[in-house]
Structure 1
Amino acid sequence: MAMIELPDDKPVRHPEYVYMDYARHLSGRLRRTITGPMWHGPSLREALDGINAADAVERPIRSMQTIWEIVLHVTARAERARLRMDGLALDEPTPEEDWPRIPIPCTAAAWEYSQAQMATAYRSMAVRVCEVMSSGFLKVVEKQSYNIATMSDGVAEHGAYHAGQIVLLRKEIHSRRPNGAHVTDLLW
């Protein structure tokens, strides 16, 4: 830890190291949003455990999106945030950009690919947070009223929020199965 001396001989941490610690913290939050462990509940990957392509397109609660739509949505938001970190001046997404369409046909391979894209988007965001730490962590995002740190924190919170929705949808889907709930349904 780098220390600088003030006139009254009280050591303080250099601001660059404070930002570095915060960047590492946010980077870890972004990674844990996908992989866990999370203190409040499951990560996105844990919430998706046991969900197949057929489950992912089911709409057990009419007023909610499907699990697959949620996965595409959190991916789109994380990717958009990373592009904004790179300095792109992006407007707010259109509804089609914010909630991308599920690929047709809805195959197991397409479902696996969507989940892999989500994990990649969050990992890329986590890496990028540490890269921009020294060059503008507190820089205001183009066309927005918040800085990169706030946006990064928001991406992690957004993923955690939607992991909770996925858990609710998963429970509803699994409760409708002929044999009732599965052991993994009872974990969350």
Structure 2
Amino acid sequence: MEMTLLADQIERAFRGDSWHGPAVLEVLAGVTAEDAAAHPIAGAHSIWEIVLHMASGYALVLGRIQGDRIRLEEDQEWPSVQEVRDDLWHADLARLDQLNRQLVRAVGEFSPARLGDPLGSEFTAATQFLGAPQHDLYHAGQIVMLRKALARSRQQT
């Protein structure tokens, strides 16, 4: 498997220019801190919580590439929003963006000979690298639904 192809898929799922529909950054465009922290669907995570979770996922795989055998605790996998402020929201978006860039670069430089090797867990490097854009797009779909629910709740008030 060509590493640049894997890296490209991770980048497209996050930044766009793909056939599937909107990428992560596209569905996050225009989301305010207040909207990101809202819970328009009972029992569902907020957009901000999803962003923090996605960043945790990137950091997890990046750590595993560096040889760490990391497992996330629940509060690490799904961090909570500590305070709702625009500057904190934008900092978390910037962190997510930076982690995506790092993952794209790391995957592009990864040895194809190691794709079948376990990467810090029971999952192979290939499974985790293919899973990154799948994970992104799963959560992009959730964000779309949360934004629609938020818009509906505003129309009803």
TM-score (norm 2): 0.92
1:147 aligns to 2:127 (yes or no):
no
Alignment of 1:71-110 (within 5 A): 71-91=51-71, 93-104=72-83, 106-110=84-88
Alignment of 1:4-153 (within 5 A): 19=1, 21=2, 23-91=3-71, 93-104=72-83, 106-134=84-112, 136-142=114-120, 144-153=121-130
Q: Using the TM superposition, give the Cα deviation of residue 37 of structure 1 relative to its aligned residue in structure 2, in angstroms.
A: 2.1
Q: Using the TM superposition, give the Cα deviation of residue 24 of structure 1 relative to its aligned residue in structure 2, in angstroms.
A: 0.8
Summarize deviations over 1:76-95 as a string: whole Å, max 9, x none: 0111011001111113x111
Structure 1: give runs of 5+ residues left out of the alignment. Answer: 1-18, 181-188
Q: Using the TM superposition, give the Cα deviation of residue 103 of structure 1 relative to its aligned residue in structure 2, in angstroms.
A: 3.1
Question: Paired residue for 1:168, among 120, 135, 145?
Answer: 145
Q: Using the TM superposition, give the Cα deviation of residue 118 of structure 1 relative to its aligned residue in structure 2, in angstroms.
A: 0.9
Q: Which has the larger radius of gyration?
A: 1
Could you say what secondary structure the match of 2:126 adopts? Answer: helix
Summarize deviations over 1:95-143 as a string: whole Å, max 9, x none: 1010012132x1111111111111111111111012222562332113x
Give the Cα separation in 2 of the matches to 1:62 and 1:164: 17
Q: Which structure has the higher relative contact order (CA within 8 Å, separation 6+)? A: 2
Q: Is the helix fraction higher in 1 or 2?
A: 2
Could you say what secondary structure the match of 2:127 adopts? Answer: helix
TM-score (norm 1): 0.78
Q: Using the TM superposition, give the Cα deviation of residue 145 of structure 1 relative to its aligned residue in structure 2, in angstroms.
A: 2.2
Structure 2: give runs of 5+ residues left out of the alignment. Answer: none
Q: CA RMSD in A?
A: 1.8
Question: Paired residue for 1:159, among 130, 136, 139?
Answer: 136
